[in-house]
């Protein structure tokens, strides 16, 4: 049977922040193993092959830039009603194991506000507070105006800070921290407020230092590919900036249109490019950090090699703002690949997912840049609740799906590899169906199948999110165990408490995301999940946090992943940098 490639019909639509990366490149040709013969027509190939093709009609989505919202210093958080805030406040306290406000921390008064105003060049626009300080020209605002800073975007964590400070320079951050340190005023560093564990919002009345005002690109070396920028720069803005010069950021996140590079570094964010480019511990060259007492630690080196003494920046990467506020970042950016291709395969079992992964690594080698999996429940969630149109490229549902991305220098070479890979997987019945992309629109469409999952979960209900790492062969087992646990307690199903449990994540680095979508946030549901899920992970020698961090959610759970000796030394590091304990208290590691 002779075959010709069919050009997919795809229309573009606009989308909000945190949508799939429109810079990807590749095809959308669906191939069914039911009619697969010895070979098939591949992406960009002139050779004649055999297969049955059908047109995939999808809708592409593009992320929008958040430069404007970042410049205004307003995190992307929905306005919350007072009733929902009160309910979630109870959960916030329970998640912190009934943590009490430290009596050693000072409560703000008008004098404090007036003195903080002196730390800033434009205090009337850099301070939002419910406490008026007339002598400093600071007027009180309503509590509602602080909600976007006090509450996280998931409507799960709620603080009650009376003051948000938005400095514009590193020196202003230093001035603010020096005053707070001297007066024992607790501080929460905040970036884009896109975190998932409550690390960027206050627990009680801590002052919020929002770094969105620090959004300047300081320098870029087009030969070495080294970027130096402020911590408040939005990741997508940076990716676009270096992209115009032939480079790309080494990390890519679903929240790239809102998250800040400083927050990425502070949480050691992983993301979709981890498989190819590794962690931020290897990509960050230097940091500028303001310590709790206001000292500016200038380590913005752009050197790839520097073997002189302790590498202090490594302490701050992943420290979640507990020992210093990152104000500047120096990072290496890899060259943008000339050819980026994406494929999504339908897979009959999780064992076949693992087989697909090993086969893909063997066939694609150095050009493999992403390998993602998601289950049927995730797929159905996206089809039913994604705010942007994500068309189903398959004719029927399948138990699992995998998305692979390749990034190379020669399109013809990469196309040949993908042709051979798809042919092999179909002939061996490892996969049952598949689609390849042939242009950037189709690539965005395929990425939307994976990147829309968290967004869709939030639209369906209240989400208990767990970010875990473990041996790859155990990843789906935990998802099934949690579903069975809820079923056994009669909690699974509409109106029973739990709407669905979905599993997806990064097979390439053993990182599973479980989203438990509930009717509401409640301590009762949390009690069914925790500590059971952490005990299960500990039995597998896994980690309770693969990339989201500890924050408030997991501050008391670190013992499931770290030894008592390790925890003790972490506390000593915290005490050495922050003897007053004012920086992001109650979180990360409780002291």
Residue 436 lies in a domain: no
CA dist 390 to 155, 400, 441, 496, Å?
Answer: 25, 17, 12, 28
Same domain, 208 and 235: no
Look up the domain containing 121 and give its range.
Answer: 74-165+168-212
Residues 302, 180, single domain; the answer is: no
pLDDT at 452 over 50: yes
**In the prediction, which pLDDT does 40 show?**
30
Mean pLDDT value of segment 233-239: 98
Confidence of residue 37 (pLDDT cuts 50, 70, 90): very low
Of the candidate ranges 12-21, 169-178, 391-400, the one whose mean pLDDT is the lowest = 12-21
For residue 476, being part of any structural domain is answered with yes
For residue 5, what pLDDT band results from cuts at 50, 70 and 90?
very low
Rounded percentage of the chain residues whose pLDDT exceeds 90 = 72
Burial of 139 (0-12, 13-18, 19+ CB in 10 A): exposed
- Any idea what the CATH number is for the domain that residue 496 is in? 3.30.70.2740
Is 80 exceeded by the pLDDT of residue 13?
Answer: no
What's the pLDDT score for residue 72?
33
pLDDT at 63 over 60: no
* Phi, psi dihedrals of residue 467, rounded to the nearest 5°: -120, 105
96 or 479, which is more confident? 479
150 and 222 co-located in one domain: no
pLDDT on residue 44:
33
Whether 472 maps to a domain, the answer reads yes
Higher pLDDT: 3 or 96? It is 96
The answer to which of 78-82, 370-374, 412-416, 582-586 has the lowest mean pLDDT is 78-82
Q: Are both 82 and 199 inside the same structural domain? A: yes
> Is residue 3 assigned to a domain?
no
- What is the count of structural domains for the chain? 3
Output the pLDDT for position 243: 97
pLDDT (average), residues 28-44:
34
Beta bridge partners of 290: 296, 325
- Answer whether 563's CB lies under 8 Å from 543's CB: no
The reply to whether 241 and 208 lie within a common domain is: no
Please state the three-class secondary structure of 481-507 as a single string.
HHHHHHHHCCCECCCCCEEEEEEEEEH
The CATH number of the domain holding residue 115 is 3.30.43.10
Same domain flag for 237 and 107: no
Instruction: Name the band, by pLDDT with cuts 50, 70 and 90, for residue 418.
Output: confident
Would residue 263 count as lying in a domain?
yes
pTM: 0.81
pLDDT band for position 491 (cuts 50, 70, 90): very high
Phi, psi of 280 (to 5 degrees): -70, -20
Q: Kindly report which listed range (18-32, 177-191, 246-260, 322-336) carries the lowest average pLDDT score.
A: 18-32
Q: Are residues 200 and 100 in the same domain?
A: yes
**Domain closes at, from 332, 347, 381:** 332
The verdict on 180 and 276 lying in the same domain is no
> And the tokens for 96?
């912190």
Residues 192, 79: one domain? yes
Lowest mean pLDDT among 5-9, 43-47, 422-426: 5-9
Helix (H) or strand (E) holding 8: none
Confidence at residue 270, expressed as pLDDT on a 0 to 100 scale: 87
Last residue of a domain, one of 309, 332, 355: 332
pLDDT of residue 476: 97
- pLDDT of residue 294 exceeding 70, the answer is yes
Strands of the 217-221 sheet, one edge to the other: 217-221, 226-230, 325-332, 284-290, 296-299
Over 90: is that where the pLDDT of 271 sits? no
pLDDT value at position 440? 86
pLDDT at 97 over 60: no
Look at residue 366 in the predicted model and tell me its pLDDT: 86
Cβ count near 305 (within 10 Å): 5
Say if residue 57's pLDDT is above 90. Answer: no
Arithmetic mean of pLDDT, 176-199: 96
With a cut of 70, say whether residue 200 has pLDDT above it.
yes
- Looking at residue 387, its pLDDT comes to 76
Of 21-25, 151-155, 186-190, 467-471, the one with minimum mean pLDDT is 21-25
Model pLDDT, residue 91: 52
**Do 175 and 157 share a structural domain?**
yes
pLDDT at 382: 95
- The pLDDT value given to residue 541: 94
Please give the mean pLDDT across all residues of the chain. 85
Note the pLDDT of residue 414: 85
Inter-residue contact 95 to 132 (CB < 8 Å): no
Question: Domain for residue 374, yes or no?
Answer: no
Question: Residue 525 has what pLDDT?
Answer: 96
Does residue 86 belong to any structural domain of this protein? yes
pLDDT at 74 over 80: no
Kindly state whether residue 412 falls inside one of the protein's structural domains.
Answer: no
Residues 138 and 244 placed together within one structural domain of the fold: no
CB 430: neighbour CB atoms within 10 A? 22
Backbone angles phi, psi at 221, to 5 degrees: -95, 110
- Return the bridge partners of 372, or none: 403, 506
pLDDT at 98: 66
Could you tell me which residue, 372 or 91, shows the higher pLDDT? Answer: 372
Distance CA 422, CA 75 (A): 42
- Tell me the HSE value of 425 on the side-chain side, using a 13 A CA sphere: 33
Cis peptide before 531 (omega within 30 of 0): yes
Q: How many beta carbons lie within 10 A of that of residue 175, not counting itself?
A: 19
Stretch 371-382: mean pLDDT, rounded?
96
Which long-range contacts does 269-274 make (Cβ < 8 Å, 24+ apart)? 269/547, 270/506, 270/509, 270/511, 270/546, 270/547, 271/547, 272/21, 272/370, 272/372, 272/405, 272/506, 273/369, 273/370, 274/506, 274/508, 274/509, 274/511, 274/547
User: Could you tell me the CATH number of the domain that includes residue 288?
Assistant: 3.30.465.10
Higher pLDDT, 17 or 322: 322
Higher pLDDT, 390 or 196: 196
Which range among 29-33, 217-221, 245-249 shows the weakest confidence by mean pLDDT? 29-33
Looking at the fold, whether 239 and 190 belong to one and the same domain comes out as no
pLDDT surpassing 50 at residue 36: no
What's residue 273's pLDDT? 86
């Amino acid at each position: 049977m002779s075959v010709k490639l069919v050009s997919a019909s795809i229309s573009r639509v606009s989308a909000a922040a945190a949508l799939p990366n429109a810079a990807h490149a590749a095809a959308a040709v669906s191939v069914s193993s039911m009619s697969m013969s010895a070979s098939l027509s591949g992406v960009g190939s002139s050779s004649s092959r055999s297969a049955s093709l059908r047109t995939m009609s999808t809708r592409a989505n593009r992320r929008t830039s958040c430069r404007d919202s970042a410049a205004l210093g307003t995190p992307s958080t929905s306005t919350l009603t007072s009733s929902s805030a009160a309910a979630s406040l109870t959960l916030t306290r329970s998640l912190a194991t009934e943590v009490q406000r430290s009596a050693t921390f000072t409560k703000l008064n008008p004098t404090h506000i007036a003195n903080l105003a002196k730390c800033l060049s434009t205090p009337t626009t850099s301070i939002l507070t419910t406490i008026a300080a007339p002598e400093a020209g600071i007027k009180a605002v309503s509590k509602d105006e602080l909600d976007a800073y006090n509450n996280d975007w998931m409507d799960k964590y709620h603080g009650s800070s009376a003051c948000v400070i938005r400095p514009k320079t590193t020196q202003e951050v230093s001035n603010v921290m020096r005053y707070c340190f001297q007066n024992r005023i607790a501080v929460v560093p905040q970036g884009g407020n896109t975190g998932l564990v409550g690390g960027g919002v206050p627990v009680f009345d801590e002052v919020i230092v929002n770094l969105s005002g620090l959004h300047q690109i300081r320098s870029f070396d087009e030969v070495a590919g080294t970027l130096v920028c402020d911590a408040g720069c939005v990741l997508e803005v940076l990716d676009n900036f270096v992209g115009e010069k032939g480079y790309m950021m080494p990390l890519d996140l679903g929240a790239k249109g809102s998250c800040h590079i400083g927050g990425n570094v502070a949480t050691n964010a992983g993301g979709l490019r981890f498989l190819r480019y590794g962690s931020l511990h290897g990509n960050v060259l230097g940091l500028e950090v303001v310590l709790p007492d206001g000292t500016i630690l200038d380590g913005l080196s752009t050197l790839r090699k520097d073997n002189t003494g302790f590498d202090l920046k490594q302490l701050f990467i992943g420290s979640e703002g507990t020992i210093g506020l990152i104000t500047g970042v120096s990072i290496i950016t890899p060259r943008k690949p000339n050819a980026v291709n994406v494929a999504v395969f339908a897979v009959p079992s999780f064992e076949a997912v693992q087989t697909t992964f090993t086969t893909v690594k063997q066939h694609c080698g150095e050009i493999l840049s992403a390998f993602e999996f998601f289950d049927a429940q995730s797929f159905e969630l996206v089809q039913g609740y994604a705010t942007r149109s994500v068309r189903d490229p398959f004719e029927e549902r399948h138990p699992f799906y995998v998305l692979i991305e390749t990034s190379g220098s020669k399109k013809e070479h990469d196309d040949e590899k993908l042709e051979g890979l798809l042919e092999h997987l179909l002939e061996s019945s490892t996969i049952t169906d598949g689609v390849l992309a042939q242009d950037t629109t189709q690539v965005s469409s395929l990425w939307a199948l994976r990147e829309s999952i968290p967004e869709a979960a939030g639209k369906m209900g209240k989400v208990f999110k767990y970010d875990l790492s473990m041996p790859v062969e155990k990843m789906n087992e935990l998802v099934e165990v949690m579903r069975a646990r809820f079923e056994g307690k009669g909690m699974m199903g509409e109106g029973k408490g739990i709407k669905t449990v979905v599993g997806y994540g990064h097979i390439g680095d053993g990182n599973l995301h479980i989203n438990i979508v509930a009717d509401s946030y409640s301590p009762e549901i949390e009690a069914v999940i925790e500590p059971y899920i952490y005990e299960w992970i500990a039995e597998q020698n896994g980690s309770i946090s693969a990339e989201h961090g500890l924050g408030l959610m997991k501050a008391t759970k670190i013992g499931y992943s770290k030894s008592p000796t390790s925890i003790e030394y972490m506390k000593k590091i915290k005490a050495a940098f922050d003897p007053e304990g004012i920086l992001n208290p109650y979180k990360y590691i409780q002291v």
